[in-house]
Amino acid sequence: MDEEDSGQMIAEGEDDSLSNDQENDESSLEDTSEILKTSEDSEVEQGVEELDKQPEIEAPAEDALLPMDHSVTDPDILGAYGDYYIPSVDQNGARAGLYSDVPETPGWRYDAITYVTDNGIMNGISGTGRFDPDEPMTRAMFATVVYRMAGSPSTYFNSKFPDVPFGNYYSIPISWASDKNIVRGHSNTGLFGTMENVTREDLVTMIYRYAQYKGVKTSDQKSLETYVDESQVSGYARVAMQWAVAKGIISGRGDTKRLDPKGEATRVECAAIIQRFMQITGAGSNNNSNSNSNNNNNNNTQVDPDKYTIMGANTVTVDQMVRYYKARASYPDFYGNTEASTIEKFCQIYYEECAAEGVRVEVAFCQAMKETGYLRYGGDVLIEQYNFAGMGATGNGARGIYFDSPRIGIRAQIQHLKAYACTDNLNRDCVDPRFKYVQRGCAPYVQWLGIRENPYGRGWATAQNYGYQIVDMISKLKAY
C-alpha cells in the first residue's frame, strides 16, 4: 500500500467526529460540511462474480523468453517457474522485427506487430523465429508487457501472490504492476493466475488502470448496447470497456458486433490494442508517474507526489471497506429496505459510483464515514436524507440536501468531489444541485478539501486539517 502524507494525525476515535462547516454561494466558498477485478483480471473485486480457480496448465512458450544462463532445452528451466528474462533485441543484438509467421504485407496485423517490436514492448518466441500471432497470451506475459510500456521502472520485489515467487521473468513486472494497482489477483484463491490466458476484458481493464496511473483522461465513455454480447461484460470491467470502446482502443472481434469479453486475447490482438492505446493517448514511458499522480485534470497541472489525489484508480477493495466499517460500528437497520440493505451492498455502491467518475473510492468512503460518524449521524443531517457528506448543512440547524435514495446521495457526493478535483465532464447525469457553484479543479488533493489548507482559499469544509484527517482515515482503511 502506498504511504501517503497523513498531515496532522488524529487519535483513534476522533474519526467519528462530525464537521459543521459553512456553505457559500457561487462567488465565495462552497459547501463546508462536506469525496473489479477478483482480478482485472479476472480482476473482479470481492462482491463481483468470482472466476473459476486457476487451472492447472503447463507453462506455454513465453513471450520472447530467453532462459537466463541456460539453453532453451534445459528441462530445469522449462517449468512454470523457470528463470527468464525478456530481451528487447535478439541474441546477436539485432532488431527483432521480422518473424517467419508474419508476412510483410500491409495490414493491421503486420503494423501492430512491427509497432510493438520496434518499441521494445513485445518480441517473438525465443529460439523459433516466430511471433505466434494467433496464440493466447498469459496474464504473466501481459503484466510484463505493461511493465515494459512503462519503461521497466526500477522497483523492489514485494509480491502479494503465492504463484509469483522471486526470480521469474514476470516476478518484478507483476510486483510493480500490483503495487501501482494496475493488476490484481483472484480474491477467491489469492493467486495471480500467472499461467492463465488473459481475457479481452481483463486486458482492457489492465490497460484502463495503466492509463489512470499515467494520468491519462479516462472519463470518455460509450454505451456497449450496440454489441450483442454486452451483457457478458463483467461488472468490474464495464467502465474500462466503455472507455476503451469510446477511444477506439477495442472494438468488435473480427467483423462482428461481439466484444467477446470472456474470450482469450491473442498475441496479435494484444499488440493491436497496445498500439492503439499508445498512439491515441501518447502514454509511453517518457511521461512516467508515481502511483499517486493520477491527474485527470484538463489543465495538465503538475501533481505533487506528497499529496493524495482525489482522482485516480481505487487502491482499496469492497472487502477492505466492509472490514474497516465493522471494526468501528454496526450497520443501521434503517437501510434494510433500500438498495443498500447491508454494509456490503453499501460499499459496493460506493465502489461502482466512484469507478464511473474516476474518483478514488477510499477518498469518498472515508469522507462519508467522517461526516456521518460511521452512519450514526447525530448532527444536523438526518439519516433519512441519504446525505452522506453533509452537503448543504451549514450549521445552526440547517439540514442540508435531501436525496431520493442511498445511491443518488452517494452519486451526488462523488460528483461534488469531482467538481473540486478536476475540470472533466461528468459521465452521468448531474444529481448534485451545487455542482455548478464549485470552482472547478480548485482542490485536486484530499488535503486541499479543507479551506484553511487550500492555497486558493476554497474547499469543502472550514474545519482545521479536514482533508488531512481524511487521509489519516484512508491510511487506517488500507491496513485492513
Running along the chain, 480 residues long, what does each successive block of 10 average in pLDDT?
Answer: 29 34 35 36 33 31 29 26 29 49 85 86 81 92 91 78 86 90 90 94 95 89 92 93 92 83 93 91 53 36 70 90 97 96 96 93 97 93 95 82 96 96 92 92 92 85 91 94
pLDDT given at position 367: 97
Q: Say yes or no: 386 and 279 in one domain.
A: no
Q: Say yes or no: 265 and 168 in one domain.
A: yes
Nearest to 310 by CA among 451, 474, 168: 474
pLDDT given at position 171: 86
pLDDT given at position 256: 76
Q: Say yes or no: 262 and 410 in one domain.
A: no
What is the DSSP code (8-state) at residue 38?
S
Q: Say yes or no: 118 and 23 in one domain.
A: no
Q: How far is CA 61 from the centre of its chain?
A: 30
Measured CA to CA, the distance from residue 241 to residue 273 in angstroms comes to 12
41 assigned to some structural domain: no
* Contact criterion met (CB below 8 Å) for 341 and 331: no
Q: How many CB atoms lie within 10 A of CB 228?
A: 12
Give the domain extent around 20: 14-35+310-477
Q: How far is CA 1 from the centre of its chain?
A: 14
Q: How many CB atoms lie within 10 A of CB 226?
A: 11
Measured CA to CA, the distance from residue 478 to residue 146 in angstroms comes to 25
Helix (H, G, I), strand (E, B) or coil at 309: strand
The three three-digit cell numbers of residue 392, written as one number: 448543504
Nearest to 443 by CA among 348, 301, 248: 301
Q: Say yes or no: 346 and 435 in one domain.
A: yes
Task: Report CA Rg, the chain.
Answer: 23
pTM as predicted: 0.45
Q: Say yes or no: 467 and 387 in one domain.
A: yes
Question: Which conformational region is residue 47 in: left (phi greater than 0), alpha (psi within -120 to 50 degrees), or beta?
Answer: left
pLDDT given at position 398: 84
157 assigned to some structural domain: yes
* Contact criterion met (CB below 8 Å) for 209 and 236: no
pLDDT given at position 304: 62
Q: Say yes or no: 27 and 118 in one domain.
A: no
Residues 6+ apart with CB under 8 A from 417: 35, 310, 359, 363, 364, 367
Q: How many CB atoms lie within 10 A of CB 99?
A: 21
Structural domain total, the chain = 2
pLDDT given at position 326: 97
296 assigned to some structural domain: no
348 assigned to some structural domain: yes
pLDDT given at position 70: 24
Measured CA to CA, the distance from residue 60 to residue 459 in angstroms comes to 54
Q: Say yes or no: 22 and 97 in one domain.
A: no
57 assigned to some structural domain: no
Domain C-terminal end among 287, 321, 348:
287
Q: Say yes or no: 258 and 137 in one domain.
A: yes
